[in-house]
Amino acid sequence: MPDFVHFRATESKEMEISNVPFQYSVLGFILQNLKESVQCNSELIGGVSKSVKGLCGDPDTLRAFIKEYYERRSNSQILEKLANEIRNVVYQAEDAIETYIVLESKHKGRRTIGVAADHIGGYVSDALNATKQIEDVCRKLKEIYQIKTPLDPDAMQVGQSSKRIPKKEEAVTEEEDNVVGLDDEAKNVIELLTEGSQELEVISVIGMHGLGKTTLAKKILNDPTIEFKFYSRAFVEVSQEFERREVFLHILGAFTKITEEIKDLSDDKLVKELHRQLKTRKYLIVLDDVWTPEGWDQLKVAFPNNDKQSRILITSHNEPVAFHANPSCDPHYLRCLDLEDSRELLRKKVFGKSDCPGELEKLELSILLKCDGLPLAIVILAGVLLNYRDRTDWWKKVTEDLDHFVAKHPEQSHGVIRLSYEHLPPHLKPCFLYLGVFREDIGIPVWKLLQLWIAEGFVQKDHAISLEEKAEAYLDDLVSRNLVMVGQRGSSGRIKTCRIHDSLRDFCRREAMKENLFQEVERYDQSTFSTEHTSLDNACRLCMNFHLLDGIENLSGIRVRSFLSFAKKETKLLPEHISCIPRAFKLLRVLDVRPIIFTRFPGELVYLVLLRYIALSSRCKILPEKMSNLQILRTVIFETSWPTLEIKADIWKMPQLRHLITNTSACLPLPLAKIHKGEPSISANLQTLSSISPESCKRDVFERVPKLKKLGICGRLASFMQGNNESSLFDSFSKLEFLENLKLINADFNSKLHFLPHESKFPRSLTRLTLLNTMLDWKHMSILGKLENLEVLKLKDNAFEGERWQTEEGGFLRLQVLNIGSTSLVTWNASASDFPRLRCLVLMHCSKLEAIPHGLAQIASLQAVEVYCTSNAAASSAKKIQAVKLESQSQQPNTGTKSRGFKLSVYPPEE
């Protein structure tokens, strides 16, 4: 079968266009996951290992074959039958083999003669039968292939040959929300907000899904006029299903620090506290996406009418909401874009400018007319066109496909979403649909998302880059296609949180359930897990975002590989329910249930040997030794209420472990055996250890983690940094050649660090450093200034103390972000040459600081200064820096390219 060699080669490239159905494209990563499970448990597989090779050996061949014949539309009935047969057999084999692995692991070392042996023998037989079936199917696949004529690459449909696929270009779209056609809309709403009586008024913006209500609201909130008129502002997403308490906490967080005391307030007292905070302020609260009049009724009690011309801005697709909230004021109806605005938006997203090649203008007009002025539809289509912006044949194909999808989906956005989804490369389809597991009213933490993608097997290994880098590239691709919106970016510029439009999320949920990617259970009733409830029988992933306690005893799922809960409320499991989850789902790979608090560690968890990802909360202070059984485990996120955590599990014998994250000071087990020179470390994949105790920072430990990138140390740091500038804490850091991110948290408030070690003690690769409660003298900043690759420095509360900081020349040559938290600093002397590449300066609770050094205004790269709860004098000096920056920018010649302006944020503003 020589032609398969060609197809495997082309499949190794990233395909920009693919109409392969999800059920076909998903087979490759199912086989890859199963292959990994078998390889990592080869000792348990024993006698069936050779037979399993027939199943797992060549997933690329299966994927290439199915993709080729689907694209050619050749004998689709045969293909449909064959693909279904392959899929069913793969699922059967996966269940049989992985059940065998789990059962064999549980009985290893303590197996008894008789029933247990017969039981295991049955699974061996099932596994052998399943692999024989897949061999028969593969043989049939080859027979079908051999009777077909060789594929002529030139005969393929437009854009389908991987040889003709252009290299992916950088997205020309900018991450800020698009605001094309919204200037007049914003002006009208701003007038409604700033005029009128002194009494509290509710203003509403009404429009259909995808029309840009959220974008408009954010544009208004950040408008200089609004910033000047309303000193106190907050934006909160309400959405269809919301918790009133969570909405109030979110708003309150915009005006004060949310302490544990505030979190523990009853609902009534929480309303009173929010009422108290707002009573003396002229405030503007944006309630985005209110669905029902009853939703407004639940929230309005917290907003006082304080006769300061305060305002509530509501966005909704439901007109009755507006008239119910304010019967005396007509809502503002958001219009669709006219043709000119639609054209400007499409060209901005595809070409980055207002010009379009002449040969594409007729096709452009046809596409825009079908979008009918709906911004969401235009933006999503731009993502389909982006990488083929100069291909007339591709634009024609998109126009034809759009006719088909819009005809089937009268609401344009639905048809466009379907079209965009159908043209996603196979590897992006499950990643995109998976976004539907997250609640609609939360920003999706990107680090968590990427780790879940990896654990689910959606990100295949690539020897050229790490799994994390490849997953991040997947996300960037979805962002460039306008299917995912950037929420927040971290100080390094990388995406920190993301979100998707409600219409996209609804599509993801529907499509994922149809394709059996995941099943969301929205609420519990007695029939949810009953034997008659057949919809969960074949569920591979379950997502439950409700109060789980009511039905936890009835949990079941023989095929469930992932169990997720992102519920809004925390729930504490009673001791008798601790084992319900691991007993219900014996084939789990992913367990993320942090809203559920385990009163003790669930012991049965250690028998789930297929686990790759664990995120849970518990009130235990020990991770047991038997967790070492989890040989495939890659990510552990463990939260505890104890100040310390003892890890008894021998993590040095867990070869796949990449990230170990705790919310407290974790004491690691010391390696029992030393690594000899030239001997590879079994823990070489570890990238994150955060946070570990200072006692764990031994040379033997760091020798085991040569690829560590992120390290957090929490505990009594002072005891490990004694006099004479000698530090046992830093002596071992030289082993960490790839360390990029270091956090030092001093947990002893009664002691301070008297020095920092010589700069040579820090890893040269270090780019990010965070200090908290270290209480160092400002003179030691000169050492940090000599860290040649340092880009981000976060000095959290009490990191440094003292009244004067004289910055030394020649330091901080690469520093881009400087964040200074609560400090006693009064005088800070510095010049532009001390921070030649500074991009962002953040000052929080620097209440004694007299001024920000005026010389910083001369830093050409400085783009943002954020001042939060500092002295009035410091805020005034920040405004002087802003004036200098704006004057400098106004004198720069207009090159026709858009450059970033200077942004100053001062809170609270001067009233």
Tokens of 246: 């969570």
Residue 618 lies in a domain: no
Tokens of 911: 């009233």
User: Do both 395 and 479 map to the same domain?
Assistant: no
Contacts of 22 (CB under 8 A, 6+ apart): 429, 430, 433, 511, 515, 517
- In this prediction, residue 248 carries a pLDDT of 92
Q: What is the DSSP letter of 373?
A: T
Contacts of 609 (CB under 8 A, 6+ apart): 41, 44, 101, 102, 105, 629, 630, 631, 632
User: How many percent of the chain have pLDDT more than 70?
Assistant: 75
Residue 599 lies in a domain: no
Q: Could you tell me the CATH number of the domain that includes residue 201?
A: 3.40.50.300
Is the pLDDT assigned to residue 45 strictly greater than 80? no
Is the pLDDT assigned to residue 587 strictly greater than 60? yes
| Longest CA–CA separation in the chain, Å | 88
User: Do both 228 and 254 map to the same domain?
Assistant: yes
Residue 257 lies in a domain: yes
Tokens of 566: 């992102």
Tell me how far apart the alpha carbons of residues 127 and 872 are, in angstroms, rounded to a whole number: 73
Tell me how far apart the alpha carbons of residues 222 and 234 are, in angstroms, rounded to a whole number: 11
User: Do both 392 and 442 map to the same domain?
Assistant: no
Q: Which amino acid is at 435?
A: L
Q: Could you tell me the CATH number of the domain that includes residue 391?
A: 1.10.8
Is the pLDDT assigned to residue 110 strictly greater than 50? no
Q: Is 300 helix (H, G, I), strand (E, B) or coil?
A: helix
Q: Could you tell me the CATH number of the domain that includes residue 493?
A: 1.10.10.10
Tell me how far apart the alpha carbons of residues 835 and 811 are, in angstroms, rounded to a whole number: 7
Tell me how far apart the alpha carbons of residues 543 and 407 are, in angstroms, rounded to a whole number: 33
Buried b (16+ CB within 10 A) or exposed e, 256-290: eeeeeebeebeeeebbebbeebbeebbbbbbbbbb
Buried b (16+ CB within 10 A) or exposed e, 190-216: bebbeeeeeebbbbbbbbebbbbbbbb
User: Do both 278 and 264 map to the same domain?
Assistant: yes
User: Do both 841 and 863 map to the same domain?
Assistant: yes
Residue spans of beta strands (DSSP E) within 302-399:
311-316, 332-333
The stretch 744-754 carries a mean pLDDT of 88
Q: Is the peptide bond before 503 cis (omega within 30 degrees of 0)?
A: no
Per-residue pLDDT tens over the stretch 273-292:
999 999 989 999 999 999 99
Strands 590-598 and 562-564: parallel
**By residue range, what is the domain housing residue 397?**
339-422
How does residue 10 score in pLDDT terms, banded at 50, 70 and 90? very low
- In this prediction, residue 825 carries a pLDDT of 95
- Contact by Cβ (8 Å): 655, 685: yes
Residue spans of beta strands (DSSP E) within 182-231:
201-206
User: Do both 375 and 326 map to the same domain?
Assistant: no
Helix (H) or strand (E) holding 35: helix 22-40
Domain end position, chosen among 318, 333, 348: 333
Contacts of 177 (CB under 8 A, 6+ apart): 214, 215, 218, 219, 485
- Contact by Cβ (8 Å): 542, 512: no
User: Do both 202 and 126 map to the same domain?
Assistant: no
Q: Is the peptide bond before 908 cis (omega within 30 degrees of 0)?
A: yes
- In this prediction, residue 115 carries a pLDDT of 41
User: Do both 35 and 94 map to the same domain?
Assistant: yes
Domain count, the chain: 5
Is the pLDDT assigned to residue 731 strictly greater than 80? no
User: Do both 188 and 278 map to the same domain?
Assistant: yes
Q: How far is CA 289 from CA 206, 238, 334, 337, 502, in A?
A: 9, 6, 14, 20, 10
Tokens of 683: 């823990």
Per-residue pLDDT tens over the stretch 288-307:
999 999 999 999 999 999 88
Residue 614 lies in a domain: no
Give this prediction's pTM: 0.80
Contacts of 712 (CB under 8 A, 6+ apart): 689, 690, 691, 692, 742, 743, 745
Is the pLDDT assigned to residue 58 strictly greater than 60? no
Per-residue pLDDT tens over the stretch 356-412:
888 888 888 888 888 888 888 888 888 888 877 878 888 888 888 877 766 555 555
Per-residue pLDDT tens over the stretch 620-634:
999 999 999 898 899
The stretch 666-685 carries a mean pLDDT of 72
Residue 639 lies in a domain: no
At residue 756's C-alpha, the angle toward residues 751 and 760, to 5°, is 155
Q: Which of 35-49, 404-418, 630-644, 750-764 has the highest mean pLDDT?
A: 630-644
Contacts of 170 (CB under 8 A, 6+ apart): 480
Per-residue pLDDT tens over the stretch 262-274:
888 888 999 999 9
Beta bridge partners of 288: 237
User: Do both 313 and 223 map to the same domain?
Assistant: yes
Is the pLDDT assigned to residue 896 strictly greater than 50? no
- In this prediction, residue 661 carries a pLDDT of 96
Tokens of 175: 């991450």
- In this prediction, residue 174 carries a pLDDT of 39
Residue 757 lies in a domain: no
Domain end position, chosen among 317, 333, 349: 333
Tokens of 189: 């709403």
Per-residue pLDDT tens over the stretch 783-807:
999 999 999 999 999 999 999 999 9
Scanning 439-597, the segments in alpha helix (DSSP H) are 446-456, 467-480, 502-514, 580-584
DSSP code string of 484-547: SEEEEE-TTSSEEEEE--HHHHHHHHHHHHHTTS-EEE-S--TTTTSTT-GGGTT-SEEEE-S-
Terminal CA-CA length for the chain: 78
Tell me how far apart the alpha carbons of residues 305 and 328 are, in angstroms, rounded to a whole number: 16
Buried b (16+ CB within 10 A) or exposed e, 569-580: eebebeeebbeb
Per-residue pLDDT tens over the stretch 497-513:
998 888 888 899 988 88
- Contact by Cβ (8 Å): 202, 325: yes
Q: How far is CA 795 from CA 236, 758, 773, 781, 818, in A?
A: 29, 19, 9, 11, 8
Tell me how far apart the alpha carbons of residues 429 and 432 are, in angstroms, rounded to a whole number: 5
Q: Which of 832, 824, 792, 786 is nearest to 805 (CA)?
A: 824
Q: Is 611 helix (H, G, I), strand (E, B) or coil?
A: coil
C-alpha atoms less than 13 angstroms from C-alpha of 457 in its C-beta half-sphere: 24
User: Do both 414 and 435 map to the same domain?
Assistant: no
Helix (H) or strand (E) holding 128: helix 115-146
Strands 495-499 and 485-489: antiparallel
Residue 551 lies in a domain: no
Tokens of 41: 């448990």
Per-residue pLDDT tens over the stretch 715-728:
998 877 765 555 56
Residue 667 lies in a domain: no
User: Do both 486 and 387 map to the same domain?
Assistant: no
Q: Which of 141-150, 309-318, 691-700 has the lowest mean pLDDT?
A: 141-150
Domain end position, chosen among 277, 310, 333: 333
